[in-house]
Amino acid sequence: MNGIFLAVDIGNTCIDLGLFRGTRLLAHDKLSTASHPVSGPWVPVVEKLLKSIGCSDRITSVGVASVVRDSARILLETLAPLCPGPAGFICSSADAGLEIRYDRPESVGIDRLLAAAAASQRTGAAHPVVVADAGTALTVDAVCAGGIFRGGVIVPGLRLGMQALQQGTSLLPQVEPDPRARLIGRSTRECMQSGALHGTAAMLTTLFRRFEANLGRPVQAYLTGGDASLLAPLIQRIVRVDPALVLHGIRLARERRSVGSP
């Protein structure tokens, strides 16, 4: 488990990279898939990230998770020069270490499972957790005591919802979320921004409360994803915010694989 471990989470619009030494996250970067396609060049990107923290150590292992078909394999091949040999792996649902109670377990996004696994491990398997991931889609998932993944809720994320409004209407403009958006907007643009931010935060506040009632005991709530920092201040309950939760899930997957190795 010595050396540097590179964790990569490929989403629909962003790619997250994390450099770990043991359990410690040394560096975290988020890049758009539009400007950084999985086919490369990624070696200079990772080398730049290593240099930014003054690290001269080599990458000894790479773990990749992806919700985009075939992207994990392509990126792992692109990163091969950084880590020669059989030291790279693609995360599967088995790597989460959870009991998945879902109608079709193979259809659960690997990012949802890894974030849930990291949250459960951090809180302790004896306690239930609810994890919200604010990315392209906004997902909210429950993990019961004992590491049982129950599933949850999927709705459009902030930007996807605003994009749908603009594309599905003739007069609404294209806008971006604004953390300064006031609750009662005074223009169409402000009203859309308020709906995205305050509406989503209110929905999460209610969902956390309802999940807790459904599970029948207090839960630890987590918030991750690219828009976590925008939403966290507006959620009316205690929430642990970690934008790198999926990356920690990939790190845990590596640890499980290392324990299971001969």
Residues with a catalytic annotation lie at 111
Pairing of strands 148-156, 137-144: antiparallel
What is the 8-class DSSP label of residue 216? Answer: T
Relative to beta strand 88-90, strand 59-66 is parallel
Burial 56-76 (b: 16+ CB within 10 A, else e): eeebebbbbbbbeeebbebbb
The closest alpha carbon to 115, from 136, 95, 145, belongs to: 95
What is the H or E stretch that residue 66 is in? strand 59-66
The Cα–Cα gap between 16 and 7 comes to: 8
What gap in Å lies between CA 228 and CA 28, rounded to an integer?
Answer: 15
**Which secondary structure element, helix H or strand E, spans residue 241, and what is its range?**
strand 240-241
Measured CA to CA, the distance from residue 165 to residue 199 in angstroms comes to: 14
Q: Kind of pairing, strands 220-224 and 129-134? A: parallel
**Tokens representing residue 144 in the block:** 């019961």
